[in-house]
Amino acid sequence: MIREILLKQKSELEAKRKENYIKRESEIKSLNSDIIKAITGPRRAGKSFFIIHSLKENYGYANFDDEELTRAKDYDEIIAMIDDVYSNPKIIFFDEIQNLDRWELFVNRLQRQGRNILLTGSNSNLLSGELATHLTGRHFETQIYPLSFKEYIGDTKNKTTADIKKEFEGYLRDGGYPEPHVKNLEISEYIKTLFQATLYKDVIKRHKIRKTSEIEAIAEFIVTNVATQISYNQIAKSLGVKSVETVKKYYRILEETMLFFSLKKFSYKLKEQETESRKVYCIDNGIIKAKAFSTSQNTGKLYENLVASELKRREQQTGIKTFYWKNQQHEEVDFVIKEGSRITQLIQVCYDISNPNTKKREIRSLIKAKQELKCNELIVLTNDYEAEETAEWYGEKAKIKFTPLWKWLLEKETTR
C-alpha cells in the first residue's frame, strides 16, 4: 500500500515539475548538509514548488496530506519504500509532515542516522518556535512569502518604464500569490477562500477555538487597519470583546499564520519597545484588496503595506531589523532600518508628495528622527517623484532622496 501511494505521488510530483514556475530569490541553506532544512511561510506562498525546483535530482518525496500514508504504523516501512521507489535518494523531502503523528521524533531519528531531510507544511505546525523546541541546533529555516515585485515582474531588460509601471499597479492591488498569477485565476475570490481556509485550519481547528466570531472579527479588523498603530485595548473596545487578554491571545495566534505581522516603535529602551502599541501589516496586498478595501481604496495605505512586506522579506535576506519612529509631538517616520547596532536608513512612504504642506510634514519628521537617531540616509518613497534635495529645519540640514516605490522595489538589497 505504501509503495503504491509513493508511486502515485511521484507521478504527481513529476507533473508539477512541468508546470510554470516563477524562480524565487531565496535559496535553501546548507542543502547538502545533514542539518534539517525547514521551509516555512504562509499557506499557498509556494513553499513546495520552491523545494521541488531547488532539488535537481536524487531525492525522495512523501506528501503526508494523504491520509492513508499518515495511518502507517511502521515509519521505517515508509523510509524503506522511499529508498525503493527513488533508488536510495540522498535527500528526502517530507511535505505536510505535521499530519504525521510524532513527526519530530521520527525526523530527529533520521537526522541522527545521517539522512538529509527537508520539511515543509502549513506554517502553524512548522513555526520556528516549535522547530527550535523539537530540533534544537539541528535545523535551518528558510521563509517563503508571496512573490516580491522582482519575482512577480521577472526580467526587465526588454520592458519599458511604462510596462514596469503598469505591472506595478497590478502588483500593488492584487499582490503576489503565485498560483493566481501563473494560472490567471480570479485573485480576490482565490484569496478570500485561502483566508477562510487559513483561519479554519491553522487557527480555529488547531487551537480549538469556540468563539469563532471573535477571532474572525479580529482578523478582519487587522486587515482593515493595516499601516495603523493599534493596541489590544483598542481592538477589544472597537469589537466589543470583553477580555483584553482574549484579544492578545487571538492576535498572537493570528500572527502565527504569517498572514499578519507587526512593527515595534523604535526606542533605545527595550521595555518601551515592548509596551508601546505596534503598527500592523499584511504580508500581501492582495489580502487587503480581497478582505478590507472597497472600490475607494486608500492607495497611501497600500503603498506603506507594500514597503512593510518587502522589508519583512529583506529582514531574512540581509539581517536588518525594522521599526517605526514616533516622538511626543506625534511626528512619525514609517520605517527605521537597524543593521547591527546602527540605524542606517529612515524611510517615509508618501504616495502624493505634490502638496507643499504634505512634503513639509514628511521632511520635518525625517529631520527630527535624523537628529535623535543619528542617521543620515533619509528616503521618501513616492508614486513617481524622483529627486535628491537638501532640506533644512531649524538649522539642521539634510539630504533627502525621493524615489518612486516601483524603482525601490527593484533595487538590489544590501547590508552596509
pLDDT for 127 equals 59
Cβ–Cβ under 8 Å, residues 6 and 81: yes
Cell of 55: 532539488
Checking 295-301 for CB contacts under 8 A at 24+ apart, the result is 297/173, 299/172, 299/351, 300/349, 300/350, 300/351, 300/352, 301/226, 301/227
Please report, for residues 152, 189, 293, the alpha-carbon distance to residue 290 in angstroms, rounded to integers and kept in the order given. Answer: 19, 7, 7
Domain(s) labelled CATH 3.40.50.300 in the chain stretch across: 2-143
DSSP structure string for 106-123:
HHHHHHHTT-EEEEE--G
pLDDT of residue 416: 45
Confidence at residue 30, expressed as pLDDT on a 0 to 100 scale: 83
289 contacts 188 by C-beta, under 8 angstroms: yes
Residues of the chain with CATH 3.40.1350: 299-416
CA-wise closest residue to 283 among 43, 74, 24: 43
Instruction: Report the 10 Å Cβ neighbour count for 193.
Output: 12
Cα–Cα nearest to 287, from 167, 174, 208: 174
Mind listing the pLDDT tens digit for each residue in 289-339?
998 755 456 899 999 999 999 999 999 888 899 999 999 999 999 999 999
Place of cell 497600500: 302
As a whole number of angstroms, the distance between CA 36 and CA 62 comes to 16
CATH of 2-143, one of 2.60.40.420, 1.10.1060.10, 3.40.50.300, 3.40.50.620: 3.40.50.300
CB contact burial 293-316 (16+ within 10 A = b; e otherwise): beeeebeebbbbbbbbbbbbbbee
Q: Report yes or no on whether pTM surpasses 0.85.
A: yes
Between vectors from CA 321 to CA 220 and to CA 410, what angle results, nearest 5°? 80
The alpha carbon dihedral of 79, 82, 87, 91 has a sign of: negative
Q: Are 265 and 273 in contact (CB under 8 A)?
A: yes
Alpha carbon distance 42, 23 (integer Å): 18
Contact 346, 336 (CB under 8 A): yes
Classified as helix, coil or strand, 208 is coil
Residues of 329-351 as b/e, b for ≥16 C-beta within 10 angstroms?
eebbbbbbbbeeeebbbbbbbbb
Which numeric CATH code is attached to 147-297?
1.10.10.10
Query: Which are the contacts of 339, defined by CB distance < 8 A and separation ≥ 6?
Result: 318, 319, 320, 321, 415, 416
| pLDDT mean values, one per 10 residues, the chain (416 residues) | 94 90 90 88 91 89 90 93 95 88 87 91 62 71 94 95 97 96 94 94 88 94 95 95 95 93 92 87 96 70 97 92 95 97 97 94 96 96 96 88 98 62
In the chain, CATH 1.10.10.10 sits at 147-297
Cell 505535521: give the residue. Answer: 98
DSSP 3-state assignment of 263? strand
pLDDT tens string 377-393 = 999 999 999 999 999 88
CATH number of 299-416: 3.40.1350
Q: Which secondary structure element, helix H or strand E, spans residue 187, and what is its range?
A: helix 187-198
Residues 6+ positions from 358 with CB-CB distance below 8 Å:
350, 352
